[in-house]
């Protein structure tokens, strides 16, 4: 299996629908078909019959490629928009064969069966363009674009993205508009980037061709609306799931018109959703209003929908990474990731002494101010070692002064960046009988094994007061007998989260030995910066009492605390300068790990995600340890075994 496709929530039936590309007959790519599964809770899934098959229709006889869903669309029915394929091979490295078409299918029975349209909604890319690709149609509504173009949303204003690129120029996102979902007008490029370039050192390469592109309008906790794009960028040699927030051209401007080579969307911050085997993201909004994203984890590889709570949920594809050249002798290839809630998060009162938060990145600095310290001096609330200088995955949204105890002030900064964290509904997979709660553990350059073991489990941990410039984290799937171990650490010197796979597998499984194959053992890593922040002295006693009770509470309290740990972006207080004095401290390091036999997914402080495939062979490779290269305190550590997510 690969790309997750067209996830959506049906209010009438209370079911979530998830489609995915698959080859029903082989572990080798081909015969692209849409598999189908449904869920009542976004966690436990039941297989449905395949929804869309190739070979029987003129416009998709060679494959049903990726797409997205829209509720109450064509003829008022739930509709999936997909790519019908009539010519292969398709690759940005080859001459384009004009064999991709925007197709659709509707359901009249709650998604049990789907009926394809008889002809394409859009037959081919715009004339005269030497495209690298043109696929993965994504329908959406947009207040921002309606305002830009002067459209009246009350009369029917619908948009469609198609991902691709232009040979020798770079990746492109094609924008279309319709009032009825049937007749589409090309409006030009929504996003256009120069080939093989970067926005910043914190972003990945734009590559040559875009895939599985998503657009969302998300409000942060301050009520500010952000235009958010998520997309897969095909490059050479790597491909990346990326995200960006930005602005559109002035109302009435000719950017994104059909005769313009420039994109309407101007990025303000750009980042990477997951620097690993996670790819081809899809999204939906759940019934609570959360945006939920799911990706494909390959045997080395992302996707988003809205759940019934209104959360945007992102799901990705995680590929295999076992080095089998063709076919997978174990009988499967690729998995979908755990659902990830995405949005815009705010980190307040940062002390940015080295101006890291200057310029562009995968953040926005939204506020800076001076903060008064206990000794009477002041410091800027932004970033002590200037991490926030230059371009990155943040926006500095505010600067202001913060008062210290001696009456002096220092400038502080507030930033905005992408929120990514496991969907809270995943707690339904926890087995309460296998919960292990560990009170405060102090380490100094050593490891400590946990009593419980596991090959499939969830780990929640908070790390505080660890020595600067050191590594801190976990060892999982460990065995002294086989010598296997996978280490997951935050490296404070390198400012990275690293999954070290050097010893993940000894390759002494029959499936590897019979095929003379050794799994990939390269480390997987991503940039992550832990900030110095200004903490209100007045709140310290209250926070300490709360922390102590959360470790020793009941099972129900532990579950609540675990979720609150994941929701806590930093310990910084947002008081104004005249509401108290502050001290400079570091953010706590909040880990959330999901280990499931051969997959590892790591979440840190609600703004970082990383995944990897591992292939331990030892039957006893189930040990779990805490590790630290310097002085470290682990707090609020909870380990929980997970139940099965797929029941049939």
Instruction: Give pLDDT tens digits for 349-400.
Output: 998 876 777 766 777 777 666 555 554 444 445 555 555 656 678 888 888 8
Tell me which of 584 and 146 has the higher pLDDT: 146
pLDDT band of 556, cuts 50, 70, 90? very low
What pLDDT was estimated at residue 321? 63
Strand 392-403 and strand 361-372: pairing?
Answer: parallel
pLDDT of the residue at 551: 28
Per-residue pLDDT, averaged over 589-594, amounts to 97
Q: What is the pLDDT of residue 566?
A: 36
Per-residue pLDDT band at 243 (split at 50, 70, 90): very high
Compute the mean pLDDT over every residue in the chain, rounded to the nearest whole number. 85
Residue 1, pLDDT above cutoff 70: yes
Q: What is the pTM of this model?
A: 0.88
Q: How far is CA 483 from CA 480, 585, 597, in A?
A: 5, 38, 17
Give the whole-angstrom CA distance, residue 165 versus residue 402: 47
The domain spans of the chain are: 4-338, 343-426, 430-576+588-641
Q: Can you give the pLDDT at residue 526?
A: 94
Percentage of the chain modeled with pLDDT above 90: 63
Pick from 302-306, 474-478, 551-555, 642-646: least confident: 551-555
The answer, yes or no, to whether residue 78 has pLDDT greater than 90, is yes
β-pair type (589-596, 392-403): unpaired
The DSSP bridge pattern shows strands 303-306 and 282-288 to be parallel
User: Rounded distance, CA 191 to CA 193, Å?
Assistant: 7
4-338 and 430-576+588-641 have identical folds: no
Q: At what angle do helices 540-551 and 555-567 cross, to 10 degrees?
A: 130
**Which of the four pLDDT bands, split at 50, 70 and 90, describes residue 636?**
confident
Q: What is the CATH number of domain 430-576+588-641?
A: 2.60.120.560
pLDDT, position 539: 64
The DSSP code for 538 is G
Which tokens belong to 283?
A: 């999204």
Determine the pLDDT at residue 549: 30
CA distance 304 to 342: 9
Q: Which CATH code of 3.30.465.10, 3.40.50.720, 1.10.357.10, 2.115.10.20 fits the domain covering 4-338?
A: 2.115.10.20
Going by the DSSP 8-state scheme, the letter that residue 559 receives in this structure is H
Burial grade of 34 (CB within 10 A; 0-12, 13-18, 19 or more): buried
């Amino acid at each position: 299996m690969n790309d997750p496709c067209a996830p959506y929530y049906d209010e009438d039936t209370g079911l979530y629908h998830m489609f995915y590309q698959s080859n029903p007959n082989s572990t080798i790519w081909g015969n692209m078909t849409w598999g189908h599964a449904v869920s009542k809770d976004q966690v436990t899934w039941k297989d449905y019959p395949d929804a869309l098959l190739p070979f029987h229709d003129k416009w998709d006889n060679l494959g049903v490629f990726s797409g997205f869903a829209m509720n109450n669309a064509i003829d008022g029915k739930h509709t999936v928009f997909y790519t019908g394929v009539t010519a292969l091979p398709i690759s940005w490295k080859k001459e384009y064969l004009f064999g991709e078409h925007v197709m659709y299918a509707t359901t009249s029975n709650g998604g049990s069966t789907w009926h394809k349209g008889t002809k394409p909604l859009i037959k081919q890319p715009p004339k005269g363009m030497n495209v690298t690709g043109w696929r993965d149609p994504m329908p959406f509504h947009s207040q921002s674009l309606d305002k830009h173009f002067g459209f009246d949303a009350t009369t029917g204003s619908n948009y469609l993205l198609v991902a691709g690129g232009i040979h020798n120029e770079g990746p492109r996102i094609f924008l279309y508009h319709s009032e009825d979902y049937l007749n589409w007008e090309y409006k030009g490029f929504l996003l256009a980037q120069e080939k093989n370039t970067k926005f910043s050192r914190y972003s990945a390469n734009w590559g040559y061709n875009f895939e599985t592109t998503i657009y969302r309008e998300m409000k942060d906790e301050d009520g500010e609306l952000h235009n958010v794009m998520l997309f897969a960028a095909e490059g050479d040699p790597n491909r990346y799931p990326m995200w960006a927030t930005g602005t559109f051209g002035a109302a009435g401007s000719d950017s994104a018109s059909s005769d313009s080579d420039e994109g309407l969307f101007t990025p303000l911050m750009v980042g990477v959703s997951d620097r690993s085997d996670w790819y081809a993201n899809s999204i939906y909004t759940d019934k609570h209003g959360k945006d939920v994203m799911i990706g494909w984890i390959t045997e080395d590889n992302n996707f988003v929908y809205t759940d019934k709570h209104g959360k945007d949920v992102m799901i990705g594809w995680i590929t295999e990474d076992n080095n089998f050249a063709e076919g997978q002798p174990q009988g499967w290839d690729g998995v979908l990731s755990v659902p990830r809630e995405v949005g815009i998060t705010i980190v307040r009162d940062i002390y940015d002494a080295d101006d890291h938060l200057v310029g562009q990145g995968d953040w926005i600095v939204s506020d800076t101010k001076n903060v008064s310290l206990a000794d009477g001096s002041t410091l800027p609330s932004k970033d002590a070692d200037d991490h926030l200088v230059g371009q990155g995955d943040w926006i500095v949204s505010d600067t202001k002064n913060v008062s210290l105890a001696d009456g002096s002030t220092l400038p502080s900064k507030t930033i905005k960046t992408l929120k990514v964290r496991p969907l809270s509904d995943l707690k339904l997979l926890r087995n309460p009988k296998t919960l292990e709660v560990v009170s405060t553990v102090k380490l100094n350059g050593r490891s400590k094994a946990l009593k419980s073991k596991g090959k499939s489990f969830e780990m929640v941990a908070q790390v505080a007061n660890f020595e600067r410039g050191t590594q801190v984290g976990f060892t999982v799937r460990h065995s002294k007998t086989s010598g296997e171990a996978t280490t997951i650490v935050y490296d404070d010197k390198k400012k990275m989260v690293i999954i070290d796979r050097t010893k993940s597998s000894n390759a002494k499984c029959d499936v590897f030995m019979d095929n003379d194959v050794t799994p990939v053992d390269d480390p997987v890593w991503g940039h992550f910066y832990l900030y110095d922040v200004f903490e209100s002295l007045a709140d310290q006693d209250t926070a300490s009492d709360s922390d102590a009770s959360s470790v020793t509470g009941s099972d129900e309290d532990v579950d609540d605390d675990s979720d609150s740990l994941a929701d806590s972006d930093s310990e910084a207080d947002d008081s104004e300068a005249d509401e108290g004095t502050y001290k400079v401290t570091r953010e706590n390091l909040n880990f959330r790990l999901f280990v499931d036999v051969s997959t590892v997914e790591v979440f840190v402080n609600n703004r970082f995600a990383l995944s990897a495939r591992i292939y331990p062979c030892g039957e006893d490779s189930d040990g779990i340890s805490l590790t630290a290269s310097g002085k470290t305190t682990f707090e609020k550590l909870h380990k929980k075994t997970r139940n099965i997510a797929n029941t049939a």
